[in-house]
Amino acid sequence: MKISVFGLGYVGCVSAACLAASGHEVVGVDVNPLKVDLVTRGQAPVVEERIGELISEVVRGGALRATTDVSAAVAATEISLVCVGTPSAPNGSLSTVYLERVSEQIGRALTTKAERHTVVFRSTMLPGTCADLLVPILERASGLGAGHDFGVAVNPEFLREGTSVRDFFEPPKTVIGEFDTESGDVVAALYAGLPGQVFRVPVAVAEMTKYADNAFHGLKIGFANEIGAICRALGLDSHRVMDVFLADSKLNISAAYLRPGFAFGGSCLPKDLRGLVYAARRADVSVPLLAHVLPSNEDHLRRAFELVAAAGSRKIGLFGLSFKPGTDDLRESPLVELAERLLGKGYDLRIYDANVSLSRLMGANRDYIESRLPHLGDLLTHSAADVLAHADVCVVGCKDPAVLGALDDAGDRTIIDLVRLPDADARRAHPGYVGLGW
């Protein structure tokens, strides 16, 4: 393919050189003439493993050249990869000025092109930036329509500085946010033959994946370092602790606990987080990340309460009460907390949980529920259908088969889904269905 790459920084340079090395014909474009001169002379404008040799090789072989001339670059290519910077603005927001400028320039260059051109954004940008900001600029500047006259896609980049050339040829995954299928096909063809799963998703989903990744990476490093700080204060070697932690690929280094759902609870996580944060405080170790896990969980519970309040009816059916499926443990269950708040605000509540029967509750579990929901006996029903019959608003906190069956007859009732029901994809299209985090 004939490809123009806009922005010859870390991302652009590596993409341009690697695509040229893969057999494509590439022209790099930058506003900075020094970078263009360096590439033209076969030198890399950035320091990266293998990039020096690679640029020298592909420039010598004629597969890569560089220019400051946007129109010529767009005219000579079928696809433009936009890799300009998106730095933080002074207030912390994402600056899109370079993206806006380059979209304007490419849009103007499109006016002189007869063939369909595809504009692919590789820069990191917040969901909505492409469709709401950049596509209108491209359309205004070109007088053409995105999706039919020219293609648009978002293709975030997951390379690590330092090993980015290696990462390009062995990507962890390829994400293609396609404005239309034809645009997605063009990007998919660009990376054909590379390993890793390919995800073709809506444009805004592609934009968001990059933030989910980077937020998680930062979170992991902060977590490890806080555990390290606590270990040091307690005279422990954190690396011995994390060796054990990392060996657990069932619960720790796994997909477990990473699907958005309802708040956590139960007899262990809240208690142990409180205990650990208290121990850190006693040792004068600041652990802001760990200290904010319970407040974050509390905010999530509040979001669920606010969704119920916004539904506008006082007749509520709560499906599920224990802290997780397959148990009748009610201790620190977020559903008990939600029920308590709803009752406190005067909502008319009925509850169904296949695993919870008042007569079978005992010990600490019984004491807990008697102190939190003393009238549980009046609220708890024996069938999901009874709860449905009572409710205008169904709050779904479990995926018990009896509950799924009852919800089939929910009609036009509001469904507030806290657990991502199996048919959530289809339900999302219907008014009256509200997902807690989707």
> Which residues are designated catalytic?
268
Token pair in block for residue 299: 């905010």
All residues at 6 or more sequence positions from 344 whose CB lies less than 8 Å from its CB, including other chains: none
Would you give the DSSP letter of residue 150? B
* In the complex, least distance from residue 365 CB atom to ligand NAD, rounded to whole angstroms: 49
Lateral strand order in the sheet of 348-352: 348-352, 315-319, 393-396, 414-417, 433-435
Per-residue three-class SS string for 13-46: HHHHHHHHHCCCEEEEECCCHHHHHHHHCCCCCC
Looking at beta carbons only, is 169 or 438 nearer to ligand NAD?
A: 169
CA end-to-end distance (rounded Å), the chain:
38
173-178 and 151-154 beta bridge pairing: antiparallel
Smallest distance, Å, CB 97 to ligand NAD? 8
Among residues 17 and 29, whose Cβ is nearest to ligand NAD? 29
Report, in Å, the least distance between residue 192 CB and ligand NAD: 21
In sequence order, which residues have a C-beta less than 8 Å from that of residue 231 and are 6 or more positions away?
A: 237, 238, 241
To ligand NAD, the closest distance from the beta carbon of 8 in angstroms equals 5
Site residues for ligand NAD per CB under 6 A: 6-12, 29-32, 35, 83-86, 98, 101-102, 105, 123-124, 157, 159, 161
What counts of helices (H) and strands (E) characterise the chain?
19, 13
Of 167 and 180, CB closest to ligand NAD: 167
- Cβ closest to ligand NAD, residue 108 vs residue 324: 108
| 319, 400 contact by CB (below 8 A) | yes
**Alpha carbon distance 66, 29 (integer Å):** 6
Q: Give the span between the Cα atoms of 18 and 24, in whole angstroms.
A: 9
CB of 92 to ligand NAD, least distance (A): 14
